[in-house]
C-alpha cells in the first residue's frame, strides 16, 4: 500500500510541474516532441483532472478504507448511461471523484478525434461500439470483486489474499494505455506504421543509416509504459 500511495504522490507532483511548464498548450501541438515525450505528456495532461480546482481529495482513490464506498458508487452508476456522466463539483467526495475520472476519459476521446486515432468510435450504432468509459468500468468491476474478497477475509478472519490495487493504480495504467495510441498518431499520423516506413525510405534515399530504426518502433509498440523505454530490464 505504501508503494501505491508513493506512486500517486509522485504522479501528483510530476503533474503539477508539467502543467505549469506547458502554460496550457497541449504537447500534441508540439511537433518537436518525440513519441515518448508526447506519450508521457498526454497522460499527465489528462490525469491532471484529478487535481483541478475544487476536485475531491486524492485520498479517496488511494485510501483502501474508502474503496468500498467509491467502488460501489462506480458500479452502481455504470449500470445506466444517464448516471455515468461528469458533473460540476458539488462538494461530495465520491461524486466529485467520479466526475473527475470521467473528465479524464472525455479528454482522451477529444484527443482521439484530434489525432484521428484508428481506434476512434465513429458511430454509436456500430455493433462494435465501445463507450469511452468501458475500459475503466471493466477494470473497476474486476477490482470491486477483489476488494469484496479482501473485506470478507478481514471480517471472517479467513486467510487474507494479496492486497488489491487502488483505484488510482488501475486508472493510471489505463490512462497510460489510452495515451500511447494518441501519442503515436500525434507524431506519426493515424497510419503510423506506414508513415514510419516512409520515414525509413527517406533516410535510405539520403544514404544515411537506418540501423536501429526498426528496433525503435518495435520497442515503442511493445512497452506498456513510456518510463520503461530506456530501461535495460525491458527487452527491446
Rounded CA gap, 5 and 62, in Å? 6
Q: What is the pLDDT of residues 188-226, one digit of tens each?
A: 999 999 988 888 888 777 777 777 788 888 899 999 999
Whether 128 and 236 map to the same domain: the answer is no
Contacts with 15 (C-beta within 8 Å, 6 or more apart), sequence order? 44, 47, 48, 51
Whether 58 and 117 map to the same domain: the answer is yes
Number of domains in the chain: 2
Q: Which domain holds residue 199?
A: 192-236
Q: Residue 115: pLDDT above 90? A: yes
Whether 91 and 181 map to the same domain: the answer is yes
Whether 157 and 201 map to the same domain: the answer is no
Whether 220 and 137 map to the same domain: the answer is no
What is the rounded average pLDDT of the residues 92-120?
90
**What nine digits make up the cell of 134?**
468501458
Q: Residue 234: pLDDT above 90? A: no
Whether 132 and 25 map to the same domain: the answer is yes
**What nine digits make up the cell of 43?**
497522460
Whether 127 and 213 map to the same domain: the answer is no
User: Does residue 193 or residue 231 have the better pLDDT?
Assistant: 193
What is the rounded average pLDDT of the residues 171-186?
95
Amino acid at each position: 500500500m505504501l508503494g501505491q500511495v508513493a506512486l500517486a504522490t509522485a504522479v501528483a507532483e510530476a503533474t503539477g510541474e508539467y502543467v505549469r511548464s506547458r502554460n496550457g498548450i497541449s504537447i500534441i501541438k508540439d511537433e518537436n516532441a518525440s513519441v515518448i515525450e508526447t506519450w508521457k505528456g498526454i497522460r499527465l495532461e489528462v490525469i491532471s483532472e484529478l487535481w483541478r480546482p475544487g476536485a475531491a481529495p486524492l485520498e479517496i482513490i488511494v485510501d483502501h478504507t474508502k474503496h468500498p464506498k467509491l467502488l460501489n458508487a462506480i458500479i452502481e452508476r455504470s449500470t445506466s448511461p444517464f448516471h455515468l456522466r461528469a458533473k460540476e463539483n458539488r462538494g461530495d467526495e465520491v461524486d466529485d471523484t467520479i466526475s473527475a475520472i470521467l473528465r479524464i476519459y472525455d479528454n482522451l476521446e477529444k484527443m482521439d478525434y484530434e489525432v484521428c486515432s484508428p481506434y476512434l468510435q465513429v458511430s454509436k450504432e456500430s455493433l462494435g461500439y465501445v463507450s469511452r468509459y468501458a475500459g475503466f468500468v471493466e477494470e473497476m468491476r474486476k477490482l470491486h470483486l477483489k476488494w469484496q474478497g479482501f473485506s470478507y477475509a478481514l471480517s471472517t478472519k479467513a486467510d487474507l489474499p494479496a492486497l488489491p490495487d487502488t483505484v488510482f493504480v488501475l486508472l493510471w495504467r489505463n490512462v497510460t494505455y489510452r495515451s500511447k495510441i494518441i501519442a503515436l498518431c500525434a507524431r506519426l499520423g493515424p497510419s503510423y506504421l506506414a508513415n514510419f516506413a516512409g520515414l525509413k525510405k527517406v533516410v535510405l534515399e539520403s544514404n544515411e543509416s537506418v540501423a536501429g530504426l526498426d528496433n525503435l518502433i518495435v520497442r515503442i509498440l511493445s512497452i506498456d509504459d513510456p518510463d520503461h523505454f530506456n530501461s535495460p530490464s525491458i527487452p527491446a
